Amino acid sequence: MDSRDDRNRLQCLVDEGTLINRRDMVRILRDLGQVRYQELVDGALTRQGEGLIVNVVSSESASTIVVNKRLYLNVNGFDHMQLGCDEAGGSTLDLVSEGRTLRLIPVTDPITDQTPVVTVDTVAAPRTALDRIFGESFAEVYLDDEDDSDDD
């Protein structure tokens, strides 16, 4: 089997589809910024709100937590991610586990919103060092504090 056969097995999703690869889930989630969220248990809406994604990990020990308009997501807590569109044509991202779905609806538009809400901190540690320590299952996202001002 040549390398071309392997390459053709990779997914190509455009707006809709199902992801099971944790690394792909992290790649999508870590730059969403501000979202509306809905928790659905057995198809019934139990909670909803709006918040910022401040942390995305793929960890065997971290919980997914939504509190104080902040979302701390662990993709290992979900079986898969379903990408789709709502009635208005906007994107929906459903993190699905047995009987529970955490639906994320992006609020910010990356085309018109010039100031990123969430950035990846590359100063704390080089990515290669983090990959060596944690493997491919680690991703960390930090918020820029727009209220910081330089003391000149």
CATH of residue 125: 3.40.1570
Q: pLDDT at position 40, please?
A: 95
- Please report whether residue 151 resides in a domain: no
Please check whether residue 148 lies inside any domain of the structure.
Answer: no
What is the total count of domains within the chain? 1
In a domain, 133, yes or no: yes
Examine residue 4 and state whether it is found in any structural domain, yes or no. Answer: no
Whole-structure pTM value: 0.68
Structural domain harbouring 30: 14-143
Q: Is residue 64 part of a domain?
A: yes
Positions in the chain whose pLDDT score sits under 50:
1, 116-126, 142-149, 151-152
pLDDT, position 128: 53
Helix (H) or strand (E) holding 44: strand 44-57
The pLDDT value given to residue 121: 41
